[in-house]
Structure 1
Amino acid sequence: MARAGSRQTGTQRDHQAQSERPADSSALVPSRRQYLELKQQYPHAILLYRLGDFYEAFDDDAHIVARDARITLTSRSFGRNGRVPMAGIPHHALNYYLSRLLAAGHTVAIAEQLSEPGRGLVERAVTRVLTPGTVAETALLPSTENRYLAAIAPLGDRIGLAWVDVSTGEFTTLELNGPSRADLLRDELARLNPAECLLPDTAETMDGIIGHITRLPHWHFAPKRAAAILCEHFHTQALTPFGCAELPGAIGAAGAILVYLQQTNPALLAMLTSLRTESLGRTVWVDAATRRNLELTRSLHTGGTRGSLLSVLDHTKTAMGARTLRRIVSQPLRDLAELQRRQGIIAALVAATRVRHHLGHILASVGDLERLISRVTQGLATARDLLQLKSALEGVEALLGHLQAAQAPALRSFAENIPSCADLAVMIEAAIIEDAEGVRIRPGFSPALDQAREAIRETRQWLASLEQQERERTGIRSLKVGYNKVFGYYIEVTRPNLPNVPPDYIRKQTVANGERFITAALKEAEARILSAEGEIEALERAALTDLCHTLTSHADRLLQTARRVAELDAFIAMAEAAVRYNWVAPILDESDCIEIVQGRHPVVEATMTHQPFIPNDCMIGGDGPRILLVTGPNMGGKSTYLRQVALIVWLAQIGSFVPAERARIGLVDRIFSRIGAHDDLAGGQSTFMVEMVETATILHQATRKSLVILDEIGRGTSTYDGLAIARAVLEDLHDRIGARTLFATHYLELTALSETFPGIANAHVEVLERDGRVIFFYTVRPGPADRAYGIHVARLAGLPPWVADRAEAVLAELTNTRPVAMPAPPQEEHIPASPWEAGNLRGPYQLPLAGFPPPPVACQAVAHELAALDLSSMTPREALTWLFAQQARLRGHATHQVGQ
């Protein structure tokens, strides 16, 4: 994370050096002088300067653009000033290259041409300033994810955090305090994944900051100044209505965001119609490791959404619904009333199949209402955008009709919270029309525009009849009246008819098959048309601007409607998943009991199309054990079982149905998951160190109300070290913390703890061993496992047979046991099986002349394979091949023993 911040600092140094470069303005050509004047206004941004069909970057900016946008670096001569570096972006590919520059953490200022090219210098001005966190253009944003700008305001023993999505108007603030505030900040940033973070210029860079770091003067974060800015923006006397009046850190962070948007793109401020204050007491606290391990919104295997919990739930019809569902999945709640409200709405949608399908069909026509409103409030909306907005608002009215007519009280109640915008749809209908002439301002909406159109209509009618009039006047039947952007209107005559051209025709251009002419009347009509068209275009823009301003005054209502509709889309998606996968509504309460009957892993089950998922029960907390110690072989389903329980609790605490026959979930305050093995070599942490850091976090932060999922604690070090650590962790969870815990381990020695610790119970994943093969049942049963079956699993993974055979021999040596099928050696003379065993005998030992006996496991394995052969289906060649292979195998094993 530190590299992103330092890289941007280096870029700023480049820009600063460039802005300080002296230049003799008298020796500069006009375009060069204009560029440098604009660049001086934005010294810390990359300036993209429109030149014809390209956006050009010069000087140091050109080197940066060529490097990070991956385009060719060239140069250009500006007269006596010599050549300067230049990198150009085609205008039609601007968004493609902008996304690269923004991803690299750059601020980009775009200078557009404001006047038509012609005589003199084209007027230019910076019309947009883009930063990684202030992008509102739909083409530059992921459709189903929010792009956040965050601000962090350290204030003594508090940290203020605020974030905004300028494309949707979501604006939230939060204050963190206490000794763990830095950890809480890291975890919140992991949830939000902001593209850009604002920090005071006096603050030290904190660990765990995500996104590109932008420094602002520290006084922008001052609570009093920020409070004044917020009150001015929201037109209030105090911040009490927003719930943050007593949170100075939260106020400072939110105020800094407003200041930054005012500096970069003031048009975005119109989208910020309210400020929401969050409280950690209302949500489940989840650290970054748990989010990663449970694969909530991103799969560790695919690197994307596919294979995550979100992918199972996401049946949304709109992009804004997908973003809302992602936020819901990312933030489980402890608010029982809100969870029961969500559950009631989803239950009503599950029961009302026809209503659910009708609502889904209408939602598909609504589209991304949130980001469409953003274009309107920025003044970027076209007539077609407004027509789309009208269609979306009409769709909202249809949604309201279905919800209000539903039998379920939960759906009728939900409809009451969706503001109607039917009047705004009528307003747009009165202003915009789509007909044979295209999408345009409706006649009657703007009297001035109607007059301009009427004035040009007569001239166009004259032009339409001119061709026939001139054919009759000149007798030239092939005469044509045409138009192009370079020469305007013209009369074209083919070469054979040139002798018949009247004297009032003025030659304008020679073409391949004739000549083009103009007349004084034609030129006068052209002037009238061009003048009128310019006036009409200006009047249409003015009418659109006025309409956008009127709609912007209703932005608060429009955004409330959009957010409620997006929430409805998310709930319909969750209901669809419940129906599709046969999920049930869990019982939610404030107890500390987790009871799951016939629970299933939501993601694994969704991917199993040809066989059923094996369900399992889980009962922890309440009057039963608080720690379930799960043992059994790899591939037996331990990790799946652990994740399954955690995901069921997670689903319950976002208000969703769960994959089980029935479930009762006592709300948890925190969820911790320590699953899987990975390292952080760039951060100087080995796999075992990462494991211990995550375990330490759990032991420091977990409470009696938490849910803890631990898998294979202590496996990254030696056997006895790992066993000791695992036992100590178990004892601390049992004696001090008391959290509801699922603890999977291969240390079978730990199963004896259930005899001395009343809060620990054993469970194991069931397997069956038959003829040297292991059959997995994927069921969890009470009691400990009898062995780990590691070598059997290694065989299934494709470990070479001779290696697996040798592993069994070593295992027999290490555990001082022998395969059951082999006879024991004579008791009167015990011969050690290996030097390791001889070294562990008490007292001296004399090695016999015959040396150590060869391990019999290879012979036993050959016998097992021979017994398993299907001789009736083998060809003679296959049988001989098998015999030769086994003979070579036994000879190789004997040679290995002699070498030892």
Structure 2
Amino acid sequence: MASPVRKQYLEIKSRYPDALLLYRMGDFYETFDEDARLAARDLEIVLTQRDMGQGEVVPLAGIPYHALDSYLAKLVRKGHRVAIAEQTSEPDGRTLVSRDVVRVVTPGTVIEPGMLDSGANNYLVAVAPGGVQSGIAFVDITTGEFGVAQLPTGAVPQEIARLAPSELLLAEGGEVPAFAGMTEGAGTTETHVTRVNGASFAPNAARRRVLDHFGVRSLDAFGCEGLEFATAAAAVVLDYVGSTHMAALPLLTGLRTYSTDAFMALDPQTRRNLELFEGGRWGAKGQSLLSVLDNTQTPMGARLLRRWVGQPLLDIDALERRLDAVAWLHASDVRRQRIRAELAEVSDLERAVQRIGTGVAFPRELVGLRRSLERVPALLALLEEAGDDLAWLTSELDPCAGAVERIKATIVDDPQGDVGQGRVVREGYSEEMDEVRMAAQDARSYIAGLERKERERTGIPNLKVGYNRVFGYYLEVSNAHSASVPDDYVRRQTLVNAERFYTQELKEHENRVLSAGDRLQELETAIYKQVCREVASHASEILATAAALATLDALLSLAESAVRYGYVRPVLDESERLVLRDARHPVVERFLPSGAFVPNDTDLSTDENQLVILTGPNMAGKSTYLR
């Protein structure tokens, strides 16, 4: 008969048969059976065995709980779905500790900063196939960005290539011919395809799922009412995120319906040939159009600029508005540098809000969010003269004073240690917490002074007071002075060269320290969680401000590139004539010696000059001219 621990493990594993299960046992996450063999192989850790009772010995491999993130990253990169089972009750030594899965980690649902590229989105994408049209939904749970589109089925592969998801959700069953090769050659070589239950795509159930998530009666406000394939894809994304984040759902507070007609469709081959994100002909990764244009100061701005490069606008009004903003920033070096200096103090607000909302944020992330929002008034002052050129942007910049003041009043400027140690919440915020903190400090101070007092009383010069988690506080006396130990010392532990003791006085103060410590942890944890909840309630305003800051950063980056490399503003119109004077390839010229690149003219139109015959020897620059 299996032991209680074995039964519990098998029951949890039966619910997640397709995932590698990390089962928390004290200070370790353990894996068993075939999972242990896989973990040992892919993590390069020792595979051993464990006696589970009743003569059952099973394979075992474990990792320290504090090193979870690094091992988790390796498993996800290897293509594993990883279920994390945490202890959900405190061990009491009498009953089996309760455990349950709190998260299933997949490529598209990771939230750990160390597993993410700060300059790129981590998209989870679902495709709801139709006949003539299909639906697509994408979400980045680390930023809260959530969008849907209904588009011609033949355009789906190009849209997947544009989004470059880390994980793609498709319905179970046979291949869909229209989607054949959607990831092959799409520039998304790291896309992990996950099959989900086809019932999730049912139109009526899907619409209800989206309505329920947002607490609305109609999808009109989101622009997707009547777009059944787009809505189905959105529902699949919501179901999947809900099934992988059981403990706390990411903050998905809005849904944007977009049209792929708003930007230029670029097939995977064109993206590669234009070297938008990675250099090919001209070298390794980093020698790309993005690398030339990216002078952003914030992770949010870097991600937005990357999206702009991958989806060129087609609407002249939208282009002119962007160019007006770049021109205003371009006009003054002093203004531009001041704005850059302010943006340099802004942290990743989008990802910070999501981590705060899901309850996994560190105190320093709250402080970083506060300090970032405190830059908004200064930025608004610098942008005052922009007038209409940036009015559409400045109207979205909200200092979020409520969230800022809440954090400032509660959290210390430089939080140290873990929440619960008394070094995160400000003194003066909670009278009860201050009293408990003082009691703990007084007891520790007394114990610290006890060493000097006992040395004087006993005459033992090297007597010392120490502490460990198993035996608590103790008085340590070397064997050389064992004859001088007083009668009121009670033996606690025997070492090779020393003995450890306690006294009734030490025990009483130890109890005060531990009792105060437990209460301190309880109070500070409760206060911290409440602050996180209150800040999360301002998520919509903070995310709107984050989007505006990202836009400002991306615009400033383009202006800075124009200054550095001598770019000029193009004249745009609706005619069918393309005229370029002294045109240069922005990537090629950056990686050639200064002055080595030769500018070229181009004049093409539908009326005349419809064709250019380009000739020249190898390496003369023909392909550069074409690009």
Name the amino acid aligned to 1:426. E
Spell out the pairing of 1:202-351 with structure 2 (5 A cutoff).
Answer: 202=173, 204-205=175-176, 206-210=179-183, 211-266=191-246, 269-301=249-281, 305-351=285-331
Change (3 A) 1:261 1:533: same
Change (3 A) 1:72 1:505: closer
Change (3 A) 1:82 1:267: closer
Q: Aligned with 1:332: secondary structure? A: coil
Query: What is the rounded CA distance, in whole Å, between the counterparts of 1:417 and 1:133 in structure 2?
Result: 29
Shift of 1:240: 0.9
Name the amino acid aligned to 1:550. E
Query: What is the rounded CA distance, in whole Å, between the counterparts of 2:41 and 2:106 in structure 1?
Result: 18
Could you tell me the TM-score, scaled by structure 1's length? Answer: 0.65
- Does residue 427 (structure 1) correspond to residue 406 (structure 2)? The answer is yes
Quick check: 1:348–1:408 contact (8 Å CA) kept in 2? Answer: no
Quick check: 1:197–1:209 contact (8 Å CA) kept in 2? Answer: no
Aligned partner of 1:552 in structure 2 is 536
What is the aligned residue count? 612
Quick check: 2:364–2:415 contact (8 Å CA) kept in 1? Answer: no
Shift of 1:350: 0.9
Name the amino acid aligned to 1:195. S
Change (3 A) 1:401 1:185: same
- Does residue 418 (structure 1) correspond to residue 430 (structure 2)? The answer is no
Aligned partner of 2:70 in structure 1 is 96
Aligned partner of 2:350 in structure 1 is 370
Query: Which residues of structure 2 form unaligned runs of 5+?
Result: 184-190, 418-422
Quick check: 1:386–1:428 contact (8 Å CA) kept in 2? Answer: yes
Aligned partner of 2:188 in structure 1 is none
Shift of 1:434: 4.1
563, 587, 590: which one aligns with 1:579: 563
Aligned partner of 1:42 in structure 2 is 16
Superimposed CA distance per residue, residues 244-269 of structure 1 (whole angstroms, 9 cap, x where no aligned partner): 11311111101111111111114664
Quick check: 1:383–1:441 contact (8 Å CA) kept in 2? Answer: no
Spell out the pairing of 1:579-598 with structure 2 (5 A cutoff).
Answer: 579-598=563-582
Shift of 1:53: 4.5
Shift of 1:345: 1.0
Shift of 1:191: 1.1
Change (3 A) 1:89 1:500: closer
Quick check: 1:273–1:556 contact (8 Å CA) kept in 2? Answer: yes
140, 160, 163: which one aligns with 1:189: 160
Change (3 A) 1:308 1:267: farther
- Does residue 153 (structure 1) correspond to residue 128 (structure 2)? The answer is yes
Shift of 1:138: 0.9
Name the amino acid aligned to 2:517. E
Superimposed CA distance per residue, residues 594-625 of structure 1 (whole angstroms, 9 cap, x where no aligned partner): 11111111111111233342111101115422
Shift of 1:407: 4.8
- Does residue 127 (structure 1) correspond to residue 102 (structure 2)? The answer is yes
Q: Aligned with 1:547: secondary structure? A: helix
Query: What is the rounded CA distance, in whole Å, between the counterparts of 1:471 and 1:31 in structure 2?
Result: 48
Higher RCO structure (Cα 8 Å, ≥6 apart): 2
CA root-mean-square deviation: 2.4
Change (3 A) 1:187 1:140: same
Quick check: 1:369–1:562 contact (8 Å CA) kept in 2? Answer: yes
Name the amino acid aligned to 1:365. E
Quick check: 1:344–1:410 contact (8 Å CA) kept in 2? Answer: yes
332, 335, 356: which one aligns with 2:336: 356
Change (3 A) 1:158 1:436: closer
Shift of 1:70: 4.7
Query: What is the rounded CA distance, in whole Å, between the counterparts of 1:104 and 1:432 in structure 2?
Result: 39
Query: What is the rounded CA distance, in whole Å, between the counterparts of 2:180 and 2:103 in structure 1?
Result: 32
Aligned partner of 1:666 in structure 2 is none
Query: What is the rounded CA distance, in whole Å, between the counterparts of 1:348 and 1:636 in structure 2?
Result: 38
Shift of 1:427: 1.0
Name the amino acid aligned to 1:192. L
Spell out the pairing of 1:457-476 with structure 2 (5 A cutoff).
Answer: 457-476=441-460
Shift of 1:217: 2.2
Superimposed CA distance per residue, residues 104-151 of structure 1 (whole angstroms, 9 cap, x where no aligned partner): 332111123456667354443323211121111111112211111111
Query: What is the rounded CA distance, in whole Å, between the counterparts of 1:69 and 1:408 in structure 2?
Result: 56
Query: What is the rounded CA distance, in whole Å, between the counterparts of 1:224 and 1:595 in structure 2?
Result: 52
Change (3 A) 1:574 1:449: same
Aligned partner of 2:364 in structure 1 is 384
Change (3 A) 1:446 1:562: same
Shift of 1:413: 4.6
Name the amino acid aligned to 1:232. D
Change (3 A) 1:435 1:66: closer
Name the amino acid aligned to 2:106. T
Query: What is the rounded CA distance, in whole Å, between the counterparts of 2:580 and 2:111 in structure 1?
Result: 44
Quick check: 1:95–1:139 contact (8 Å CA) kept in 2? Answer: yes
Aligned partner of 2:116 in structure 1 is 141
Query: What is the rounded CA distance, in whole Å, between the counterparts of 1:89 and 1:552 in structure 2?
Result: 32
Shift of 1:525: 1.8
Change (3 A) 1:562 1:81: farther
Aligned partner of 1:199 in structure 2 is 170
- Does residue 483 (structure 1) correspond to residue 467 (structure 2)? The answer is yes
Change (3 A) 1:516 1:440: same
Query: What is the rounded CA distance, in whole Å, between the counterparts of 1:337 and 1:436 in structure 2?
Result: 47
Change (3 A) 1:589 1:380: same
Shift of 1:584: 0.4
Change (3 A) 1:203 1:278: farther
Change (3 A) 1:303 1:76: farther
Change (3 A) 1:92 1:476: closer
Query: What is the rounded CA distance, in whole Å, between the counterparts of 1:360 and 1:48 in structure 2?
Result: 44
Query: What is the rounded CA distance, in whole Å, between the counterparts of 1:157 and 1:412 in structure 2?
Result: 41
Bigger Rg, structure 1 or 2: 1
Aligned partner of 1:604 in structure 2 is 588
Name the amino acid aligned to 2:491. R
Aligned partner of 2:420 in structure 1 is none
Q: Aligned with 1:433: secondary structure? A: coil
Q: Aligned with 1:366: secondary structure? A: coil
Q: Aligned with 2:613: secondary structure? A: strand
Shift of 1:346: 0.8
Give % identity: 47
Quick check: 2:478–2:498 contact (8 Å CA) kept in 1? Answer: yes
Q: Aligned with 1:482: secondary structure? A: strand
Aligned partner of 1:565 in structure 2 is 549
Shift of 1:319: 1.9
Superimposed CA distance per residue, residues 214-238 of structure 1 (whole angstroms, 9 cap, x where no aligned partner): 2222232223222222222222221
Spell out the pairing of 1:324-723 with structure 2 (5 A cutoff).
Answer: 324-404=304-384, 406-407=385-386, 409-411=388-390, 413-434=392-413, 439-495=423-479, 497-511=481-495, 514-621=498-605, 623-643=607-627
Name the amino acid aligned to 1:105. G
Superimposed CA distance per residue, residues 646-667 of structure 1 (whole angstroms, 9 cap, x where no aligned partner): xxxxxxxxxxxxxxxxxxxxxx
Query: What is the rounded CA distance, in whole Å, between the counterparts of 2:430 and 2:246 in structure 1?
Result: 28
Shift of 1:437: 7.2
Quick check: 1:478–1:493 contact (8 Å CA) kept in 2? Answer: yes
Spell out the pairing of 1:8-27 with structure 2 (5 A cutoff).
Answer: 27=1
Q: Aligned with 1:285: secondary structure? A: coil
- Does residue 28 (structure 1) correspond to residue 2 (structure 2)? The answer is yes
Name the amino acid aligned to 1:392. S
Could you tell me the TM-score, scaled by structure 2's length? Answer: 0.91
Quick check: 1:261–1:269 contact (8 Å CA) kept in 2? Answer: yes
Change (3 A) 1:83 1:268: same
Change (3 A) 1:83 1:285: same
Query: Which residues of structure 1 form unaligned runs of 5+?
Result: 1-26, 644-900
Quick check: 1:227–1:252 contact (8 Å CA) kept in 2? Answer: yes
